[in-house]
């Protein structure tokens, strides 16, 4: 009996050690995303998307890998840059590393609200991060072509105001629109024919700990509907409208415990393509 207890204890310790190692093994996911309404002048635009950093300090190796893979034109942070107890300077250092790649646009996740936002927002302003809180910005090319980048506050805590985020500019509904939302449940709150082409989300961590056969240990509403990867939302009915694409990242850091299993820690380099094709699921690897 004692022998079996020792064997089981050793197996449990080995499993925990493996999951801890997995949580620090970061996968660089490179994909080309075909988007019918993307203006031709934005063809080849590269986006670094990273979400759910939480307590992690981004290693310099991650930045080097992004630059070696071709860099990016924009860095988009999908919320939960921090959580309760994370030193402000750690978040600042993470921002500075990402800013060495490209200008940063960011939204809030539920854990960004864990502590007083005021010093956090001051830091973001000092580091020239464009924070999107239920608002949008227009990105323009030299030829005058424009797209809209919109961001909502955290849907899980009820702070999202999608109609407000999409209220500008006046001709925004005719523009290609990329929406940042921390929780993918934003998709369930979208009315038919909402003028959004691409939605980037995080929050679910891909289940974080996923057991063979059983599936994710933690089963939230978001996870049940939109666990990870690509989803094509219900086709819109208006003439000329398109079906929005939703992408859910497994995220970079961890929540509750620093462990992962079958839900890789990841960050993404998306190359936007102005056409219709299947997503290229190629990845530069770990």
pLDDT per residue, tens digit, the chain (286 aa), is: 776 666 666 667 888 999 999 999 999 999 999 999 999 999 999 999 999 999 999 999 999 999 999 999 999 999 999 999 999 999 999 999 999 999 999 999 999 999 999 999 999 999 999 999 999 999 999 999 999 999 999 999 999 999 999 999 999 999 999 999 999 999 998 988 899 999 999 999 999 999 998 889 888 888 889 999 999 987 665 555 678 999 999 999 999 999 999 999 999 999 999 976 544 444 444 4
pLDDT at position 282 is 41
pLDDT at position 181 is 98
129, 76 in Cβ contact below 8 A? Answer: no
CATH 1.10.3470 fits 2-273, yes or no: no
Contact residues for 248 (Cβ-Cβ < 8 A; gap 6+): 184, 201, 202, 203, 204, 206, 226, 227, 228, 229, 231
Number of helices and strands in the chain (H, E): 6, 14
Position of tokens 């523009």? 175
pLDDT at position 193 is 84
Expressed in angstroms, the distance from the first to the final Cα of the chain is: 41
CA geometry: angle 189, 191, 197, nearest 5 deg: 95
Give the domain ranges of the chain.
2-273
Distance CA 192, CA 234 (A): 8
In terms of Cα–Cα distance, which of 76, 65, 140 is closest to 102?
76
């Amino acid at each position: 009996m004692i022998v079996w207890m020792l064997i089981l204890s050793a197996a449990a310790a080995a499993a925990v050690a493996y999951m801890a190692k997995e949580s620090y093994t970061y996968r660089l996911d490179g994909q080309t995303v075909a988007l019918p309404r993307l203006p031709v002048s934005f063809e080849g635009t590269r986006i670094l998307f990273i979400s759910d950093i939480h307590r992690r300090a981004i290693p310099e190796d991650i930045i080097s890998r992004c630059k070696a893979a071709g860099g990016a034109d924009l860095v988009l942070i999908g919320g939960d840059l921090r959580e309760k107890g994370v030193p402000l300077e750690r978040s600042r250092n993470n921002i500075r590393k990402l800013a060495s790649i490209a200008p940063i646009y960011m939204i809030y996740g539920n854990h960004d609200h864990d502590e007083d936002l005021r010093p956090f927002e001051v830091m973001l302003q000092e580091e020239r991060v464009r924070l999107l809180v239920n608002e949008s910005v227009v990105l323009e090319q030299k030829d005058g072509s424009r797209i809209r980048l919109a961001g909502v506050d955290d849907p899980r805590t009820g702070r999202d105001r999608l109609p407000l985020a999409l209220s500008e500019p006046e001709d925004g509904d005719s523009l290609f629109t990329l929406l940042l939302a921390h929780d993918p449940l934003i998709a369930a709150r979208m009315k038919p024919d909402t003028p959004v082409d691409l939605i980037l989300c995080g929050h679910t961590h891909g289940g974080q700990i996923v057991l063979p056969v059983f599936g994710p240990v933690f089963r939230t509403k978001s996870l049940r509907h939109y666990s990870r990867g690509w989803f094509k939302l219900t086709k819109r009915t208006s003439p000329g409208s398109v079906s929005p694409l939703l992408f859910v990242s497994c995220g970079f850091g961890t929540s509750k415990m620093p462990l992962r299993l079958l839900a890789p820690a990841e960050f993404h380099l998306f190359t936007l393509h102005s056409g219709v094709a299947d997503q290229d699921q190629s990845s530069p690897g770990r």
